[in-house]
Structure 1
Amino acid sequence: MSDVSALPIESLLGEICSVIRDRKRLVLAAPPGAGKTTRVPLALAGLIDGFDELPGKILLLEPRRLAARMAADRMAATLGEKTGERIGLATRIERKVSKATRVEVMTDGLFTRRLLADPGLEGVSAVIFDEIHERSLNADLGLALALEAQSVFRDDLLLLAMSATLDTEKVAGTLDAPVIESEGRQFPVETKYLGRNRDRIEDQMAAAITKAVQAETGSILAFLPGAGEIRRTAERLSGLPASVSVHPLYGALSPREQDEAVRPARAGQRKVVLATDIAESALTIEGVHVVVDAGLARVPEFEPSSGTQVLRTIRAAKANVDQRRGRAGRLGPGVCYRLWDEEETRGLIAAPRPEILNGDLSGLLLSIAEWGEDDPYRLTWLDAPPRGRIEAAREALSAFGALDEAGKLTAHGKAMAALPLEPKYASLVASAASDGERALAAEIAALASEAGVGGSSINLKDRLERFRLETSPRTKALRQQADRWAKGGRAFGDPALLLAKAWPGQIARRRDGSETSYLLANGRSGELPAESAVTLSQWIVVADMIGAAGRARITLAIPIREQDALALHPPATEEWASFDPASKSFKARRVKAVGRIVLSETPLPQPSGEAARAAFINFVQENGFEAAGIGEPVSVFLARLGFLHRSFGEDWPDPDEAQLAATAGDWLAPALGGGKFDMPSDGTVLNALKQSLGWPKAQEIDTLAPPTITLPSGRNAPVDYLDDNAPLVEAKAQELFGLSRQPAIADGRVPVTLQLISPAGRPIAVTKDISGFWSGGYRDMAKDMRAQYPKHDWPEDPASAKPHVGMTKKRLGRQG
């Protein structure tokens, strides 16, 4: 065990304890290696000599199970104990807590469940949000609810937010809290850029690791975006010397496998740890002096239009790659190999995008409703959830029957909220018709929500059978958890029928002419791997799928007999239409279908207005506004909203195009009228968008972000909100004569950029200071213009000249 007295945080512990007791809230910024995770909780709990203990328990929240377990084990070892005594641990599948526990380390998702069950947090003195910079959805929600709990129920509750890379100004401002900053304990790290090539990332990584093994000493920590890349890289490293062992490290591994990756290499050995961003912070891997970074991250993003979560591989943010680099200098001087060129680093975004801005918010909204709040925006957020995503979440929860028209929890919603599951699996368990079905639903929810459990088969039946037989500690813990959700019942029933009853939209039929592509009753489509035995069935029920619309992959499914599917959900006969954007026309047909799965159809000469409107909205939702021919007003409207959001903050929403498309049925459909369908004009679309803001913002947007401004010449000139210099107005110089002050909008907060154009319409000057321009740059410009356009008016004193629309001197003379 290293000497804790040498940790940089030690000299600040007294100040930290004093300030947080006095102010109740505190932000602590401490780089990796400072010791914040393992020393601050012990000081607050009075488990370090010289520090007074708080009367209640200290909760330390971690965003990942591995980080929670390692923090608990390390603190317990500091006290000469095992985890479960004065230092406790609570995760979804592991609990080691006793009456003696003073510090309880838990995952942030579990904290939210605890807070919802006990808003007063009885017996708790302080809550510490560690690694809050990761901005997980659970952490953001937990912090918002904790702030509310402190304000309403517990004014004595202490809240501490701490991180290695923290936007301290933003977090401190949101919490209204003081900031304490600690120095880190960082040794120098040499950075070597290897550049990118067109090889697969696994080949580049394997080559870089091999080079590092030969050129450097010590163990190696390599960062890759996901488990698949880790496995393939490991395969390519089979030729390393026998003295070098390779270990994967990602969330779906068992605790034993994770511990094997993290513990020091054996004497005379070196290790290569292939990790996801799970190893970026909050844990130290002994012996690592070399980092190899692919510079990539895999982030989840929910697509409201498709209802699926997409895992996107993107370039990691600068804050992330800096933290990864720092891992090489935690224990001594180190080296960091980067698989990109040095100049690329300058183009990285500063920090990763918070999950609350990208993710599926249905679970968050369910928790807020359970809290008793029907308006998420009455809570205090580091970043407020986007309104479009909240509306999509509200729609999804309403479809599950979890919310009533007023946004309150129904009885079914309360049963869902009581389960620590994402809403679709909570609804599955809560909607079970018998004890046996509830137990079966709980088993399905347990294995589907925990990666790697029950094997890797796509067939749910195979996964269930293996789940019931596996003996690993993790699987045993999940089975016990499923038993608790089932309230002791014994699993009984047909999984396919259970899923088809609970999720009728997930019933799917194989597309004609395809062996692997399936159309779901909800209109989405997904692909099965060709080698999957599930493809032998024409009808299936999809339990899980990932990927963007049009490219979704079915990851868990079960065959169902056609007669069973049709018996549960008898086909309906309806009129359907489809929109052709090229001809702006429709094709109509009468269909017999289960949801969007067509069993038979008959052509119709033309659709009714109702069918055409539905088809147009559906096309917009699936393909976007540009494809539908109405992209221009939407782009301009979004630019104006973005301008107001930047100018006035959260008071104005800032949706993206995907969010608007997903909710087009709510705001665009009413504007399309009744009777015969006519293509909406730009004005119709714009008016519908404005009305979607509600009163009074529908009126305020034209005042604060006007579509035009009146020039001194009297012309109403359009304001360009899409230009890089937006808001921008283009005008001939003569139209601006006599203007002494720069025009401004947004209640005078933002000056309008003026782009002056020549009589031929070419840009000749840009200014945000018209007064300074008249007395400065105008003189040189006018000299050139007099030579090119001698018939036009170029006065010596434009500030006092009479404005006009750019007429020649001859025409001006006639008017005079």
Structure 2
Amino acid sequence: MIRYDALDALPVRGALPGLNDALEGHGTAVLVAPPGTGKTTLVPLALAGLLGEGPRRQVVVAEPRRIAARAAARRMAWLLGEKPGESVGYTVRGERVVGRHTRVEVVTTGVLVQRLQRDQELNGVDVVVLDECHERHLDADTAAAFLWDVRESLRPELRLVAASATTDAEGWARLLGGAPVVEARGASYPVEVVWAPPARPVRPPHGMRVDPALLTHVASVVRRALAVRDGDVLCFLPGVGEIARVAGQLGGLEGLGDVEVLQVHGRAPAAVQDAALAPGERRRVVLATSVAESSLTVPGVRVVVDSGLAREPRVDHARGLSALTTVRASQAAGRQRAGRAGREAPGAVYRCWSEAEDGRLPRFPSPEIKVADLTAFALQVACWGDPEASGLALLDPPPGGAMAAARSVLSAIGAVDAAGRATERGARLARLGVHPRLGRALLDAGAFGEAAEVVALLSEEAPREYGDDLAGALRAVRRGGDAYAGRWRAEVRRLRSAVAEMPRPPVGDSPPRGPKAGGWADASVDRLVGVVAALAFPERVARADGGSYLMVSGTRAEVGEGSALRGAPWIAVAVADRPVGEGHARVRLGAVVDEEVARLAAGVLREERDEVRWSDGDVVARRVERLGAVELAVRPLRDPGPGLVRAALLDGLHQEGLGLLRWSPDAVLLRQRLAFLRLRLGEPWPDVSDEALHARVEEWLEPELGRARRRADLGRIDAGQALGRLLPWASGEAARLDELAPERITVPSGSRIRIDYSDPERPVLAVKLQEMFGAQKSPQIAGVPLLVHLLSPAGRPAAVTADLASFWRDGYRGVRAELRGRYPKHPWPEDPAVAEPTRHTNARLRR
């Protein structure tokens, strides 16, 4: 019997006439309805005509998560007085509960995308509701784009509804061809906001890491809320590990009554999920991930404690790693979470951050299409017939770099051709419902039941207690009786069935053979685990190298102390992350493999080539067999090509500098003179800085460089003679080198003194003071007065001047008074400007 009392109490009922008008007139609509109004439950029942009003229609509702899909279907069935599988059913990966009379089917967005690939027209479906579209999951964006394409080109009568509590309504309306926006008024109760930041600063999240101090603070806020507020407490945390840690800190809630602690997340047993969604006899604390933000009503909740954190996918393209990462939750997520406290009565939300911080939070979550691994998306759009996704209706276009990386992976596994179009193999991979990498492993080793077991284990994050050894994790899940093991067994059955139902692969698409005629069929289970991991992640096959592992991609990774992987010569890394402050990745899940498996899996990355490079201070010539960045075999190369040698020598000059050449004092002086002329006169005098000389190496260092084979040969090259090639011979200016920048200059005493050009800004003439007597002004070169260092008879600086006349007039008197007593045999005339210059002492002059 239909529960009309519960249905009539749902505020969204008032928006149904407007929604029906929008769908009848336009065929599409955007429904904006606050949490708790009934958009997920009442709207699909009304659109299907199951409430005795309106035409009978077949409705598909797409939810972003499995737990939400099952819960929504159960709630709608309860409202109709039925069980799931009658008028309302659901389909999630590995589980289908529908019947002949099902009118509303709730599916995950991933299931909907798969269904669209098999049946683009969605035959028999009248309305599709995309629920919680504000979360911007990649599958949801993909499904929306495909549905709009279907409506535009194949089925204009197909009705589409984008529904959410908080969303970019104008953007979705634009995406759906100018769809009307229908708003439902909420009847939620007021929620008091309590700002509850930690007393001391906590470290920001990084990767999967959350500061334990913050989790301790969250647990204390939960205790505080229990003590001063009525009702159940719903606490939002980013992941399963954080939920377990906070649950451990909430043990023994003495003095707060009979309190039950529930842990709700995607991996929680169905019984726990059901318990959270049903009224409890005891007071409850529900620790939940973001699965509880939307589509689920947790009855009895009057208080929300929000850690302010969420998990989003990220790709580290530099290391070839993709994983979930912890981020600050958006303002939209904060509103969704807070709304859970006011669904049934006035409530409160405790936000574990300051009000000032709140204004700096992002408005909406990052769309997955902007930050996630796009390999699966790229395969889906290729199978759809639009490899660039340029003709699809997407709120945000996929980033070009991420799409290029995705196509590179798809090309390597044979899923797309050179033009990016899906191959037959690619179509088969898309139908498996797992990441293309895992699909590749399943197809190429799928003749054996264990392959499906390993792929199922890799398709969903395994419990941390299973360890980092994939073979050990497989043994653990086989023995396991927990919710994860149950889902794993269902997924194994699904994968085996999917492979069995596929047509035989075309010629040239057979799986790689193992070491014996029977392929890998007679391999041990542990070895087959490694084969599957290596086939799925060929660029993460890694060899032990010192204290870490070097992946064929070039990324280094480390395994934890006590790991079963430690000490293995080769491993295949399935899951890795990067710890805070570390340059190396950390292996979270991997498998031991041998070199034969490594060569098999990463064979497309194998190459053998001559390598001539500058290493350890000299030219090293080798014939190298590589698997990506990993060297497999090396032997000396006796007669390397001249071009390779030349490139290695140039690299050596870049690494160690032009000092590798022979720089005589004359060569050094020539370079300094040229640097002075370049600075003072510019063209045509050459730039002789290191950068400029490296850029023009062909002009000045050939043919000497062409004859060199090793470091010692560089040391025999006369740098001065080579530099001479850069002089401006063509213009004739080279003949003026000694005039404009002479090596030596004649001073009044007749001596020829060398000029010091080490500072091109101001060349220096260091000369004994007595040799400059009679000079009326400082000598010049290229119009620049030299900086004269006037030396004592002992050759020590006595004075520095660029204006000799001024020095004779003002500075000489003090120098004379200081030095003539110390050097009485040398002349110290009263007027040096008219005195006779000399290189000799008074004694010699008298003789």
TM-score (norm. length: structure 2): 0.67
The counterpart of 1:257, out of the listed 252, 267, 272, is: 272
Unaligned runs of 5+ in 1: 618-672, 678-816
Identity percentage of aligned residues: 38
Q: State how 1:472-487 maps to structure 2 within 5 Å.
A: 473-487=486-500
Aligned counterpart, 1:320:
333
Which structure 2 residues correspond to residues 315-714 of structure 1 after superposition, within 5 A? 315-432=328-445, 435-436=447-448, 439-452=449-462, 456-471=466-481, 473-487=486-500, 493=523, 494-495=527-528, 496-500=530-534, 503-512=537-546, 514=547, 517-547=548-578, 550-562=583-595, 565=598, 573-575=608-610, 591-599=624-632
1 CA distance for matches of 2:407 and 2:473? Answer: 32
Contact map agreement 2:534 2:597 (CA 8 A) in 1: no
Distance 1:70 1:613 in 2: 65
State the alpha-carbon separation in 2 of the partners of residues 104 and 248 from structure 1.
Answer: 27
> Displacement, 1:579?
10
Residues 558-594 of structure 1: CA deviation (Å, up to 9, x unaligned): 21234664688797554558999xx9x9998764443
Q: Distance in 2 between matches of 1:448 and 1:599?
A: 28
The answer to whether the 8 Å contact 1:609/1:676 transfers is no
What SS is found at the alignment partner of 2:381? helix
Of residues 179, 195, 199 in structure 2, which corresponds to 1:193?
Answer: 195
> Aligned to 2:491, what secondary structure does the other structure show?
helix
Relative to structure 1, the CA distance from residue 331 to residue 413 in structure 2 (aligned partners, 3 Å threshold; closer, same or farther) is same
RMSD: 3.4
**Is the contact between residue 9 and residue 182 of structure 1 (CA under 8 Å) also seen in structure 2?**
yes
5 Å-filtered alignment, 1:100-179, equals 100-176=101-177, 177-179=179-181
The 1:346/1:576 distance shift into structure 2, 3 A limit, reads farther
Whole-angstrom CA distance in 1 between matches of 2:145 and 2:598: 43
The offset of 1:397, in angstroms, is 0.7
Whether the 8 Å contact between 2:86 and 2:102 is mirrored in structure 1 is yes
**Aligned counterpart, 1:40:** 43
Shift of the 103–563 alpha-carbon distance from structure 1 to 2, 3 Å rule, reads closer
Q: CA 1:676/1:11 → structure 2, altered by over 3 Å: closer, same or farther?
A: farther
Structure 1 position 303, deviation (Å): 2.5
Over 3 Å counting, the alpha-carbon distance change for 1:488 and 1:9 in structure 2 is closer
Aligned 8 A contact 2:60 2:125 in 1:
yes
Instruction: Tell me the SS of whatever aligns to 2:50.
Output: coil
Code of the residue aligned with 2:545 in structure 1: it is R
Q: Which has the larger radius of gyration?
A: 2
Counterpart AA for 1:509:
R
Letter aligned with residue 342 of structure 1: E
Gaps of 5+ in 2: 203-212, 503-519, 652-694, 700-847
Per the alignment, do residues 132 and 491 of structure 1 end up closer, same or farther by CA in structure 2, a change over 3 Å counting? farther
For 1:23, the equivalent position in structure 2 comes to 26
Question: Counterparts in 2 of 1:234-313, with a 5 A limit?
Answer: 234-241=247-254, 243-266=258-281, 269-313=282-326
Deviations 1:277-328 (A, max 9, x none): 1111111101110011111122111223322113322211111111111111
1:397-443 C-alpha deviation (Å, 9 max, x unpaired): 111111111112223222212210111001111223x722xx33222
Looking at structure 1, the residues matched to 647 and 348 of structure 2 have their Cα atoms a distance apart, in angstroms, of 61
CA shift, 1:378, in A, is 1.0
Mean Cα displacement is larger for which, 517-526 or 539-548? Answer: 539-548
Rounded to whole Å, the distance in 2 between the matches of 1:521 and 1:112 is 33
Determine the C-alpha separation between the residues in 2 that align with 1:557 and 1:125.
46
Q: Deviations over 1:624-659 (max 9, x none)?
A: xxxxxxxxxxxxxxxxxxxxxxxxxxxxxxxxxxxx
Distance 1:315 1:600, change over 3 A: same
Out of 215, 224, 239, the position equivalent to 1:202 is 215
Cα offset for 1:599? 4.8
Question: Higher mean Cα deviation, 404-413 or 138-147?
Answer: 404-413
Task: Give the direction of change, closer, same or farther, for the CA distance of 1:442–1:563 in structure 2 (3 Å limit).
Answer: closer
Structure 1 residues 609 and 84, CA, compared in 2 at 3 Å: closer, same or farther?
A: farther
CA distance in 2, matches of 1:144, 1:610: 51
Cα contact 1:311–1:546 (8 A) shared by 2: no
Q: Which moved more, 1:165-174 or 1:496-505?
A: 496-505
Deviation at 1:79, TM superposition (A): 0.7
Q: Deviations over 1:519-573 (max 9, x none)?
A: 1122222232213212142321223334489443322222123466468879755
Letter in 2 for 1:3: A
